[in-house]
Amino acid sequence: MPRTKPLQILEGSRAIALTVKNIAPAVISAYPITPQTHIVEDLAKFKANGEADYEYVRAESEFAAASIVLGASATGVRTYSATSSQGLLLMTEVLFNIAGLRLPIVMTCANRALSAPINIWNDHQDVMVIRDSGWILLFAENHQEAIGQHIMAYKIAEATKLPVMINVDGYIITHSYEPAWIPDKKTIRKYLGEYQPTSGEYLDPDNPVTIGAFATPNDYMEIRQELHEDLVASQKIIDKEYFNYQKIFETKTKKSQIEDNGLIEYVGPKNPQVILVAMGSILGTIRATIKANKLENKIGILKIKTYRPFPKEAIAEIIFKTKNIAVIEKALSLGQEGPLTLDIKALLLNRTTKTNIQNYIVGLGGRDITTGMIKKIINDIIKTKQNLGSKFVNK
């Protein structure tokens, strides 16, 4: 990022709220839930103080908030919501409807553990519940990436007619302070343009249409197939908008990165001894571990930015560089393995070279993830000869 950009020391939630204010959606509706509350609290204050002219609709629950933005989006305007954990689960029925109705809604999920027992700290178990709902799922590593993903999300959603969810780690991003640059409203408008919904695809009294009609077995399968195929095809648009965003907002790619696009980022040697795969804020700890132990010439880091659609071709191109893969994740498919691990294992089924892939579960319920734990994982994957199922790294 060029030095000319005016940096502010901002709480992550504040940075997201300021970005959404400058995007200026027509309708915002949300229900407060920890650790998402600061985002929508700030957005409500902006409206109350006359700093924004969007409609801020108070809701009695997350289910209602999701329903409100569904209805607003169906009339052909930009909308926004935010939630977390149990609130996301309460929205589940509506989230499937939003995707099925092809509504370009943008929402933030401040990722948090699920009950029971009740826990308000961060992991990724909440979003994994709705990973098959038809939403595009993005994961941010830090404040600046979250800012960019929220802006790009509207362009992506409107181009694909698919909803987009930006996942930010609760507390670690939402409540921490980092230097960040908030693009101004004029620059964002230049990038996004005015929203122009397709005629005949939104509710208009002057041009009556039916959306979400009853589908019989003769039609339902083709409709779901089309949704799936469009979700897969959205990878090209996500990539395109990532580079368009860089061009307009004058961001720069680090020279050390071998691969960097809207789907993934890979940093490390061309032929690494081990590749560590992860999503979200944990990447910061991984980078610090590699640097502190001077392992840059041995260990590769694969960051997944887009989890759905799953960018299998882009990921396969990277992980085939090594025989040792450690997937580090903050979620567990109970009774199986980590969801990201299962997706990556599917890519290796037809590989002729034997691959040592191991799943490491960390940070559930907000457990601290230390550089010592990452070093332990690196040492373990090097000596492990076969898949032993999920390994829980607690300290």
The span from the CA of 39 to the CA of 359, in Å, is 33
Question: Which amino acid, residue 238?
Answer: I
Count CB-CB contacts under 10 A for residue 229. Answer: 10
The span from the CA of 274 to the CA of 282, in Å, is 17
**CATH number, domain 258-392:** 3.40.50.920
Look at strands 306-308 and 299-304 and give their pairing.
unpaired
pLDDT digits (tens, 9 = 90+) for 349-369: 878 788 999 999 999 999 999
pLDDT, position 2 = 42
49 within 8 A of 74, measured Cβ to Cβ = no
Q: What are the boundaries of each domain within the chain?
A: 8-248, 258-392
Domain 8-248 has CATH 3.90.1150.10: no
pLDDT, position 253 = 53
pLDDT digits (tens, 9 = 90+) for 115-130: 999 999 999 999 999 9
Least confident of 22-26, 82-86, 157-161, 390-394: 390-394
pLDDT, position 394 = 92
Which positions ≥6 away from 348 have C-beta within 8 Å?
A: 319, 355, 357
Least confident of 95-109, 116-130, 379-393: 379-393
The reported pTM is 0.96
Query: Where does residue 366 fall: left (phi above 0), alpha (psi -120 to 50 degrees), or beta otherwise?
Result: left
Instruction: Give the 3-state secondary structure of residue 211.
Output: coil
pLDDT at 202 over 50: yes
